[in-house]
Amino acid sequence: MVTKSKLKQYAKLIAKKGLNVQKGQEVEIFADLDQPEFVKMAVDECYLLGAKRVHVNWSYQPLTKSHVKYQKQKDLSEVLGWEIAKWEHMADELSCRLFILSEDPDGLSGINLSKFQASQRARKAVIKPIRERMENKHQWCIVAVPGRAWAKKVFPNDKVTVAMNKLWDAILTAARVGDDPIAAWDEHNRSLKEKCDKLNALGLTELYYRSKSSGTDFRVGLNPDVVFAAGGEVTEGKEVFFNPNMPTEEVFTSPLRGKAEGIVYASLPLSYNGQLIDKFWIRFHEGKVEDVGAEQGEDLLRELIAMDEGASYLGECAIVPYESPIRKSGILFYNTLFDENAACHLALGIGFTNLLKGYEKMTEKEAFAKGINDSIIHEDFMIGTADLSIVGTTKDGKQVEILKDGNWAI
Ligand code: ZN
């Protein structure tokens, strides 16, 4: 049973270790309607840390469907003055942003996809320059709570109440909400940092992925000036340490744009915009997606890589050992926050400019010119298997085994 006190511990962990809310800061929370009581707990914990104002932005997938159905594409694409003002306010204040996910992985199925994607693309392009003002400068965190439809999707053979309880359990376990979650996260952050330090000391120029069981055979170029990161991040300027994802098991970097060859096979389905893409492969040539195939959702995958020029290039390579506690739970969450931490993955779309050494003194444009990909999307997909091996090449041409039979070799 999930007790109130466990939930309170979770809410406190999110406010303290996820966002690390500072005195006098504003907090914007984005949540679905599934868990209003938990959202209130999170709000209270932010206030207890000294937040000046906490604002909750509620959403409801059936409403999104109605808007897409009834609004003209032009109206759906427009970002209104008050929305821009709100974004400007967040960028001025450097508000914390907390995303509490609970949505149904299939909750948007049946919508007019090209209309929806086109409007998203238009809206993101308008908001992008404002977003860039707060990039790397504010704390943000993505966490999850169970929604009824999501719980039924994960545990289809259970009654809703049982499924909800099981999903709460799985979420809290993955987020290390045990006896002392704060201490557990300090330890977890420390051990992830150790892996990063080892990888960064190697100065890698290439990763070679191979999995006999899936068919993955793929090389990707790295820029040794782009570091591996994991766990927590520090805001630029105010130097506030926060954990953008809870849970997180990955050690990740941004690859060198233009250098990717070969084929990768997905090892888990991808839930994208409320719809599933499953049993798919992607072939790269000169860094760019050359072809794709999928047993389910191939149209969706093709739409995804066509979102903009950068959507067909890679923005992330993440290493997650096969022994990850999330993979070991055996649960397929149909949610990237969890599933990406069950397996090694790649992401199409924008990379992480803040991983480039000296990025603080560069404009975004300069960072992109150094081979970090730019796009309006960033979409993870999982390729890790029990027999995945990753061999790195260092800048002086040495080969280093990084992952062997799915697990860390360094
Ligand atoms: Zn990732």
Quick one: 75 and 108 in the same domain? Answer: yes
341-355: pLDDT as tens digits: 999 999 999 999 989
Residue pLDDT tens, the chain, 410 long: 789 999 999 999 999 999 999 999 999 999 999 999 999 999 999 999 999 999 999 999 999 999 999 999 999 999 999 999 999 999 999 999 999 999 998 899 889 988 998 999 899 999 999 998 998 899 999 999 999 999 999 999 999 999 999 999 999 999 999 999 999 999 999 999 999 999 999 999 999 999 999 999 999 999 989 999 999 999 998 999 999 999 999 999 999 999 999 999 999 988 887 788 999 999 999 999 999 999 999 999 999 999 899 999 999 999 999 989 899 998 989 898 998 899 999 999 999 998 999 888 888 888 899 999 999 889 999 999 999 999 999 999 999 999 999 999 98
Residues 144 and 227 in one domain: no
Question: How many Cβ atoms are within 10 Å of 224's Cβ, its own excluded?
Answer: 14
Are residues 134 and 14 part of one domain? Answer: yes
107 shares its domain with 12? yes
> Do 24 and 109 share a structural domain?
yes
State the distance from the centre of ligand 1 to the C-alpha of 385, rounded, in angstroms.
16
- For residue 183, being part of any structural domain is answered with no
The answer to the question of residue 180 being in a domain is no
Host domain of residue 269: 195-408
Residue 254 to residues 347, 349, 371, Cα–Cα distance (Å): 9, 10, 9
In a domain, 220, yes or no: yes
- Determine, yes or no, domain membership for 320: yes
Q: Of 143, 174, 205, which residue constitutes the final position of a domain?
A: 174
Assign residue 292 a region: left if phi > 0, alpha if psi is -120 to 50, beta otherwise? beta
Interaxial angle between packed helices 36-48 and 4-13, expressed in degrees from 0 to 180 and rounded to the nearest 10: 50
- Position 189 in a domain: no
Residue 214 CA to ligand 1 center (angstroms) comes to: 20
Asked whether the CA dihedral 329, 332, 338, 344 is positive or negative, the reply is: positive
Same domain as 223, residue 308: yes
Q: What does the pLDDT read at residue 360?
A: 81
Distance 75 CA to ligand 1 centre (A): 33
The answer to whether position 187 is within a domain reads no
CATH number of the domain that residue 166 is part of: 3.40.1830.10
Which residues 6+ apart lie within 8 Å of 122 measured at CB?
Answer: 77, 78
Burial label for 352, CB within 10 Å (0-12, 13-18, 19+), is: buried
Is residue 188 one of the residues assigned to a domain? no
Residues 266 and 137 reside in one and the same domain: no
Cα of 110 from ligand 1 centre, angstroms: 28
Question: Do 123 and 21 have their domain in common?
Answer: yes
Q: How far does residue 287's CA lie from ligand 1's centre (Å)?
A: 18
Residues 207 and 308 in one domain: yes
- Centre of ligand 1 from the C-alpha of residue 92, in Å: 28
**Is 83:57 a contact under the CB 8 Å cutoff?**
no
Do residues 233 and 376 both lie within one domain?
A: yes
Helix (H, G, I), strand (E, B) or coil at 34: coil
Total domains, the chain: 2
Q: Is residue 355 domain-resident?
A: yes
Q: Does the bond joining 247 to the residue before it have cis omega, within 30 degrees of 0?
A: yes
Cα of 50 vs centre of ligand 1, distance in Å, is: 31
How far is ligand 1, taken at its centre, from the CA of residue 319, in Å? 8
Render pLDDT for 298-327 as a digit per residue (tens, 0 to 9).
999 999 999 899 999 999 999 999 989 899
**Can you tell me the distance from the alpha carbon of 63 to that of 80, in angstroms, rounded to the nearest whole number?**
18
Q: Tell me, yes or no, whether 264 and 139 share the same domain.
A: no
Same domain, 313 and 344: yes
